Structure 1
Amino acid sequence: MKNLKKLFLGVLTLALAFSLAACNSSKETEGSGKAEGGDKESASGIQEMTIKISHVVAENTPKHHGALKMKEVIEKESGGKIKVQVYPNSQLFGDKDEYQNLVANNVQFIIPDMSKMVGNDPGFNIPAMPFLFESDDAANAFWDGEKGKEIFKRLEKDGVLGLSMWPNGAKHMTNDKKAIKTPEDLDGMKIRTQGGQLLEALYGQLGAGSASIPFGELYTALQQGTVDGQENTFSNIESKKFDEVQKYMTIMGHTRVDYALLTNTKFWDEMNEETKAIVQKGVDEGTKVARESAEQLNEDALKIIKERGQTKVNELSEAEIEAFKKALQPVYDEWKEKIGADIVSDAESK
């Protein structure tokens, strides 16, 4: 009987030992499947994760087209291991809080208007410099070059990585008061801008007041007369139907809307090389699509605005544009020094 009890206890001990070993093995397996930062890593080395891309404009815009291309490429190249969610129209975050949420890694990519970044670095005033770039290609060349990359690099102190510039294009004015043909025509008007001291100085030089209103709230502000007018690209004006609540549009191309594709450095650094290569390919392809679509969308948008016929369209002549350049020269000279003469000179050379 004693031998039988000893045998039974021996078997029970072995069973418990195997059970504990299996449990520990299971836990180790679970732990080894985690990539740094807590994302699961597949057998092939591609980390499983969900990436969020947030922006504030409508779907039929260069920014959204580029974001959708990023989603397509990343999901395809990762075999579905990486899911990409795109949130347009301020659905996730708006102008006021998207940068803070990127810093907190609550979203992995944002594509803000560079005018929203001027508080982070004065170099982001470049698109607001009056009549600086003659084309999208010139603006692209600047941001792809040494000085543009230098400005992006300065965001790393915030835990943010600047990856690329996505253009929207030259801006034009709309208002509900009168046709704008001379600098004096703006005297006494209140114009919505994206914000920043340079744009305030620009309109102040022309005798106009300025107000910074979130893009998602702009239609209502125009409709209610909170401001008299605004400046934007053709594609933004058309997609948000600002021509429904503005009687006049002036084609002038005095400043630009350019976007910065930004990511969180912690998110970026915690990707392994295989995963990062896939995401980088998405960024590259998204940038290409955003840039290719900007010019075409603006051309199409102007046609649609004219066809709708809800706003009177006036295009400034070369002589009229020269009058605006002359009026704004003091602002240009002052801000060339504030931004950095070397940076502005590089932009002028493109």
Structure 2
Amino acid sequence: MKNFIIGSIITMIILIVLVGYRQNFFSTKTYPYDDEQVGLENQVIIKFSHVVAENTPKGMAAEKFADLVNEKSNGRIIVQVYPNGMLYSDDKELQALKEGEIQMIAPSFSKMTDYLPNWQVLDLPFLVEDEEQLEKVLTGNLSKQLLSELDSLNIKGLTFWSNGFKQIATSGTPIIELQDFWHKKVRMMSSDILKEQYLLLRAKPVDTTFDTLYNDLENHLIEAQENTISNLYSKKFYQIENQITLSNHGILCYAVMFNEEFWNNLNSETQSIIIESLNEMQEWQFNQAKLINEKNLVSLSNEENVQIYELDEINKTKWKKKLSPIYDYYRKNVNAQYLDELLEEINN
């Protein structure tokens, strides 16, 4: 009998606890935040996916941007940076952005040319000769027109970042004279202009993604590539392609963009902080890209197995002459007005 009474008491206690817990669990009462919780309901999380290393111009710009917006918003805006294709490869990140899986990307402008053919104007070879002209291209009126074209894709374009000039890397015999291109399988990004460029050089253009490029080189699917010094160094492509020609024949830059629906849902204060941060870091980003490429070039020069050649003026003139029909191709097939505007910006 005693055990029965004790058991009944324990059962009643358990029932009381469970009823109380259930009432609290389903309660709609709002409790005040403590100090650490204040403002969390207004916190903005931006997932920023990219495919290059952290120590590259884009990688460092992404971190700089994240720090600036965090500082200017007192921690309310958090940019989560995912480098090295951790979330999406370069052929998947645009779709992920459009679907809202991520909020921010900065792909190469060449990646956008399948959707926005006018953007191919930036892929024209030997269009830009130095850093001063490059800055004009990325900040001029035409750059704003190009960014506005992203509206048609439900994307908000904000600015361009630089990764500097493209060089030619291969193994075995360096590519210096025109015949060195013949029948070479050269990796390029998806762009009709780039494809036309290598066809004119009698090479075999191959469109592959950045994240598979190293394996493609190892498996001899690719024999050469065009890329910036920073990418050649940070991704260790030089371990396979150790013959590097400094040609400066093209530019590699990035378009910074947001999912449009996400952007439109941000309040004006948040939008202003983002734009202000991008504007504030613009000059820093251009200078940083230049410095990183210069530093990485020194590092490559110190690698025992790497040979670096500078394209001489005689061969550069031959390259330019061979590639000159591309300008007519763009005028006739894409947008003559854009080309004229860009040339005017560069030369003024």
Q: Could you tell me the TM-score, scaled by structure 2's length?
A: 0.85
CA separation in 2, counterparts of 1:217 and 1:309? 26
CA separation in 2, counterparts of 1:73 and 1:171? 29
Q: Is the Cα–Cα contact under 8 Å of residues 121 and 330 in structure 2 kept in the other structure?
A: no
Secondary structure in structure 2 of the residue aligned to 1:51 = strand
Aligned partner of 1:253 among 248, 256, 259: 248
CA 1:327–1:52: 2 relative to 1, 3 Å: same
Give, as a single letter, the amino acid of the residue that structure 1 aligns with 2:279: D
CA separation in 1, counterparts of 2:67 and 2:283? 13
CA separation in 1, counterparts of 2:205 and 2:69? 40
Aligned to 1:278: 273
Aligned partner of 2:47 among 27, 49, 52: 52
CA separation in 2, counterparts of 1:96 and 1:117? 11
| 1:140 shift after superposition | 2.6
Q: Is the Cα–Cα contact under 8 Å of residues 161 and 256 in structure 2 kept in the other structure?
A: yes
Aligned to 1:290: 285
Find out whether 1:242 has 2:252 as its counterpart: no
| 1:177 shift after superposition | 3.5
Aligned partner of 2:126 among 122, 131, 134: 131
CA 1:309–1:348: 2 relative to 1, 3 Å: farther
| 1:253 shift after superposition | 1.0
Find out whether 1:118 has 2:113 as its counterpart: yes
Question: Which deviates the most, 217-226 or 232-241?
Answer: 217-226
Q: Which runs of 5+ in 2 are unaligned?
A: 1-26
- Equivalent positions of 1:309-324 (< 5 A) are 309-324=304-319
| 1:132 shift after superposition | 0.2
- Give the % identical residues: 30
CA separation in 1, counterparts of 2:236 and 2:129? 26
Aligned to 1:208: 203
| 1:187 shift after superposition | 0.5
Give, as a single letter, the amino acid of the residue that structure 1 aligns with 2:133: A
Aligned to 1:144: 139
| 1:108 shift after superposition | 1.3
Q: Is the Cα–Cα contact under 8 Å of residues 68 and 286 in structure 1 kept in the other structure?
A: no
| 1:47 shift after superposition | 3.2
Give, as a single letter, the amino acid of the residue that structure 1 aligns with 2:249: H
CA separation in 1, counterparts of 2:281 and 2:42? 21
| 1:139 shift after superposition | 2.6
- Equivalent positions of 1:29-68 (< 5 A) are 42=39, 47-68=42-63
| 1:286 shift after superposition | 4.1
| 1:107 shift after superposition | 1.1
| 1:127 shift after superposition | 2.8
CA separation in 2, counterparts of 1:280 and 1:151? 17
Q: Could you tell me the TM-score, scaled by structure 1's length?
A: 0.85
- Report how many aligned residue pairs link the two structures: 317
CA 1:289–1:52: 2 relative to 1, 3 Å: farther
Secondary structure in structure 2 of the residue aligned to 1:195 = coil
Aligned partner of 2:212 among 217, 222, 246: 217
Aligned to 1:167: 162
- Equivalent positions of 1:183-194 (< 5 A) are 183-194=178-189
- Equivalent positions of 1:99-110 (< 5 A) are 99-110=94-105
Aligned to 2:5: none
CA separation in 2, counterparts of 1:152 and 1:338? 21
Q: Is the Cα–Cα contact under 8 Å of residues 138 and 161 in structure 2 kept in the other structure?
A: no
Q: Is the Cα–Cα contact under 8 Å of residues 69 and 289 in structure 1 kept in the other structure?
A: no
Secondary structure in structure 2 of the residue aligned to 1:308 = coil
Aligned partner of 1:93 among 69, 78, 88: 88
Q: Is the Cα–Cα contact under 8 Å of residues 69 and 282 in structure 1 kept in the other structure?
A: no
